[in-house]
Amino acid sequence: MTRVLHVGAEIYPFVKTGGLADVIGALPAALRAAGADARVLLPGLPALTTVLRDAKPVGSVQPPWGGAAAELVEGRLDAPSLADVPVVLLRHDALYARAGTPYGDGSGHPFADNPRRFALLGLAAARLAQGIDPAWQAQVLHAHDWHAGLACAYNAFARRSHKSRAGSVFTIHNLAFQGVFARAAFAELGLPADAWGVQGVEFHDQLSFMKAGLHYADRVTTVSPTYAREIQTHELGAGLDGLLRERSAAVSGILNGVDDAVWDPAHDALIAAHFSAQRIAGKAQCKAALQQECGLDAQDSAPLFTAVSRLTEQKGLQLLVGSIDRLVERGGQLVVLGSGDAALEDAFRAAAKKHPRHVCLRQGYDEALSHRIFAASDVTLVPSRFEPCGLTQMYALRYGSLPLVRRTGGLADTVIDCTLEDLADECATGFVFERFEADDLTRALRRAFTLWSRPRDWREVRKRGMAQRFGWNTAAERYLALYHDIGREISA
């Protein structure tokens, strides 16, 4: 039984800023179901320490820069979906017991001591691969995104000095966020001098946690096969494409999954009525309930377009702004849940004021509302400039909403366009456009309205979409095979 430690900064349902939390909240449980001994290491954030049950100390870690030691405490997080997953929290109140997100304060400003906060997380992971806990020693460290990147570096140097035999996997959830800090921070990390350089953690004379993971991990994965190819290009490589091409034999894409225990319209306690592909009537009730909640006209005949997204340049919703008037003129409605770029917020707010019975903006993020939106939606908009995997389109398919996406990353891997050919071949599941341009999005919207005008075809595509399964069991099996490959290489 492979002992694998997942290292990350957030976990659903307790700490979430994006899809990373969903992955760490679901993949370890799927791995345990597949036969692995999977555990999770997280920083001791207030939202986690207050819900840790049956806690017991398993060791302590001395920060390389000195000061008080951090304590490792193992227990279970108080959530049904995590009941079978052992969780280790890294307790160091001076670093983690503060308000805000895992990365910054309530105003969105990163914490100045983030290099220390996440270096200590990586060091703790490496110590758990060296036997600091006499009852459990990790054989594989699975580090998620830049926050855990140094775990791979610490482990690599521990292997070099024969203190560890653990392998490592580094998963890129979004290459655009790299954890880059001033060079001075390197001196505090306790890494050997030769870790600083092009063949190490240095990136344009700065310290990069992302590069640490990419360089020192035994295997690098991304969250979709298409994204694994895209990040090896200059366009989407974020300055690291050269390193990724150099390591291309170690880079692969494994598509994220959807937790069916959380996202299932037949049993979802957060929506107005339950439904399934075979018993679809409840979806109309969900639509009517959301229209009432958002102050929209109660029209089942109006196609309801929705977006649940951060309002950032990456997500591409700026392409939609110029099409809202035409969408309303053609009888459509629009609900947007999200926040971010002030100009985008203003644009959607202005559209809602201009079309109060047809357009609604709900700012911020509301997990329960997102479920209600997917359940009510006819079309889910994901026009991203780039998208490593995307879970939104998978949730949409599960809830009978046809995704309208740009062909990039995981969106390209999960949605098949409603072309005449794909409709005839009975494989279409949504609407896909190619170029990141407003005109291309507008044409995709026209295709959506055209299919909506053909109710029988719409129902067939919706039913096919709801039949798609992106379960975590498939991803878990692929990760298990990866762990075994690494183990064989280390033992050889």
The full set of domain ranges for the chain reads 3-257+472-491, 281-466
- The predicted-structure confidence for 130-173, as pLDDT tens digits, reads as follows 999 999 999 999 999 999 999 999 999 999 999 999 999 999 99
pTM of the model: 0.92
- pLDDT at site 491: 84
Distance CA 63, CA 66 (A): 5
Percentage of residues in the chain having pLDDT higher than 90: 95
Per residue in 301-348, pLDDT (tens digit) is 999 999 999 999 999 999 999 999 999 999 999 999 999 999 999 999
What's the rounded Cα separation, in Å, for the pair 427 and 436?
Answer: 24
Confidence of residue 434 (pLDDT cuts 50, 70, 90): very high
* Residue 424: per-residue pLDDT: 93
Query: At residue 492, does pLDDT exceed 80?
Result: no
Q: Is the pLDDT of residue 248 over 80?
A: yes
| Cβ atoms 29, 82 nearer than 8 A | yes
Q: Which residues have CB under 8 Å from 50's CB, separation 6+? A: none
How far apart (Å, rounded) are the C-alpha atoms in residues 45 and 54? Answer: 17
CA-based radius of gyration for the chain = 23
Rounded to whole angstroms, the Cα distance separating 99 from 253 reads: 35
pLDDT for the residue 112: 96
CA angle at residue 156 from 135 to 48, to 5 degrees? 50
Q: Are strands 52-61 and 70-77 parallel, antiparallel or unpaired?
A: antiparallel
Cα(321)–Cα(333) distance, integer angstroms:
13
Report DSSP state, residue 382: E
pLDDT value of residue 305: 98
Q: How far apart are the first and last CA of the chain?
A: 19
What is the separation of C-alpha 281 from the centre of its chain, rounded to a whole number of angstroms?
31
Look at residues 123, 60, 57, 56 and name the one whose alpha carbon lies nearest to residue 92.
60
Write down the pLDDT at residue 210: 98
The pLDDT tens digits of the residues spanning 189-241 come to 999 999 999 999 999 999 999 999 999 999 999 999 999 999 999 999 999 99
pLDDT at 19: 87
Separation of alpha carbons 237 and 420, rounded Å? 34
Contact present, 467 and 321 (Cβ < 8 Å): no
Q: Is 54 helix (H, G, I), strand (E, B) or coil?
A: strand
Q: How sure is the predictor about 260, in pLDDT bands with cuts at 50, 70 and 90?
A: confident
3-257+472-491: CATH, from 3.30.70.20, 3.40.50.20, 3.40.50.850, 3.40.50.2000: 3.40.50.2000
Averaged pLDDT, 169-190: 96
Average pLDDT over residues 19-38: 95
**Residues 236/252, Cβ–Cβ less than 8 Å:** no
Does the pLDDT value for residue 1 go beyond 90?
Answer: no
Q: What is the helix (H) or strand (E) element at residue 126, kind and residue range?
A: helix 114-128
471 — pLDDT class (breaks 50, 70, 90): confident
**Interatomic CA distance for residues 374 and 366, integer angstroms:** 12
Specify the residue for token string 């595509």: 461
- CATH topology (fold) of 281-466: Rossmann fold (3.40.50)
pLDDT of residue 356 exceeding 90: yes
**Residue 55 three-state SS:** strand
**Counts of helices then strands in the chain (DSSP H, E):** 19, 18
Average pLDDT score over the chain = 96
- What does the block give as tokens for 167? 């392998």
Answer yes or no: is pLDDT of 18 > 90.
no
Average pLDDT over residues 409-427: 95
pLDDT of 270 reads: 97
| Mean pLDDT on 241-256 | 97
Rounded to whole angstroms, the Cα distance separating 377 from 387 reads 21
In the predicted structure, residue 81 carries a pLDDT above the cut 90: no
Q: State pLDDT tens for residues 33-74.
A: 999 999 999 999 999 999 999 999 999 999 999 999 999 999
Give yes or no for a cis peptide into 13 (omega within 30° of 0).
Answer: yes
